[in-house]
Amino acid sequence: MRKTLITKCLLMALFIGSASIAAAEDLNFDAGSIYISANEEEKSVFESRNFDGDYFAGGKNISFSGIADDLYLMGKSINFDGESSGGLLAFGETVELNGIIAKNFHSIGNSVRITGHVLETAFIGAETIIIAENAVMDGTLLTGASNLHIMGQLNNGLLAGAGEIIIDGPVKGDVNVRTGKLIITERGSIDGNLIYGSGKKISEKESARVTGSVKYEIKEKFKNTGFRTFRIVASIIFFLAIAVSGLLLLLFPGVKSLFTQERDPGSYGKTLLWGLIPVFIFPVVIMFTIPLLPLSIALGLSVFPLMGLTVLLGLALAGQLLFKLFKWTNNSIYLQFLMAFVFFVLLVLIPFVNILVLMAVTATGAGLIISKLFKTEF
């Protein structure tokens, strides 16, 4: 219970908090193929229009029933009843997917419920994940959760880690799970192979509901101790390098001055939303420059220093946001950076969540760079 509460608070602070703050001011503009929306008065976004390109939204409650290409929704409560010809990325305390996603679905929240149709891979991290009876998942389902309940139809297998997994519907393809308890009900079936690690074996009746082979794995403790020790030491060195690099970077007057101005609460959410644009566009640019090999290689190599810089700047800005959210009065940018760094380390240790955390921090740093390059205050 305590771990769940801590995880929930951290997620709310770094993701939902940033997105909700974006609703402090009205932000609606059409940028060609990208549409960004947030509402000031009700702090909620209800959208039913059709868009030719991508759609970003931040607010307390988000309801989308229109049509768009790729969608990026961040808020406390998200309800998707529309259609996406691309993918959907949703951060929310509760996420309801009732529409159609033509490509990948990425989501993190406290509760994620799917009754719609996902045509490609779904990556979900949540406390509770429910695949309802009417849901159809054509791609592989990859999840990390406390409770995973599958009643709908999975057509391309399951890869999951959860405290409890209940398979109460048809699953086609191989299933590979690590769980405290696996249950295959009378309505559930697996048309493929089953590999599972659990504290308890499933019954013979449950095994009979699997058409392929059934393999039960018990994780051997202290196996490969040398490699595990190396990995732990390498991780400690890596995180220490981030902390030291960030503190050294903030010693430069030009960098430190970026965080001395008083920020309007809405600016943090806007900075994050603007930063998502180069985060998604940069890989596309690299792909298009492949025919010009030297340029493509140069751009590819520039990813590492640019990402390092944006992560450090993003952590510093996230630290300011955390101090505002918790109403802490200390204005030391070094202390703010270290506090955000602690939150960052805790979150990146969580599977699936780590990718989304890194994306959010990188986007925040990128948004800060954009605001200074174009001398624009978000």
Rounded CA separation 191/185 (Å): 14
- pLDDT of amino acid 204: 92
With a cut of 60, say whether residue 27 has pLDDT above it: no
pLDDT score of 55: 86
pLDDT at 255: 86
Question: Rounded distance, CA 157 to CA 174, Å?
Answer: 5
For range 50-75, the mean pLDDT: 85
pLDDT tens-place string over residues 270-283: 788 888 877 777 77
* Percentages of the chain per state (helix, strand, coil), in multiples of 5: 40, 30, 30
User: Is residue 137 a contact partner of residue 121, using CB atoms and an 8 Å limit?
Assistant: no
Top mean pLDDT of 151-155, 251-255, 313-317 is at 151-155
Q: Is the pLDDT of residue 315 over 60?
A: yes
- Quick: pLDDT tens for 89-105: 887 889 999 999 999 99
- pLDDT for the residue numbered 176: 93
Q: How many residues does the chain have?
A: 378
Highest mean pLDDT pick, 17-26, 156-165, 330-339, 354-363: 156-165
Q: What is the pTM of this model?
A: 0.57
Instruction: Give the pLDDT score at 83.
Output: 94
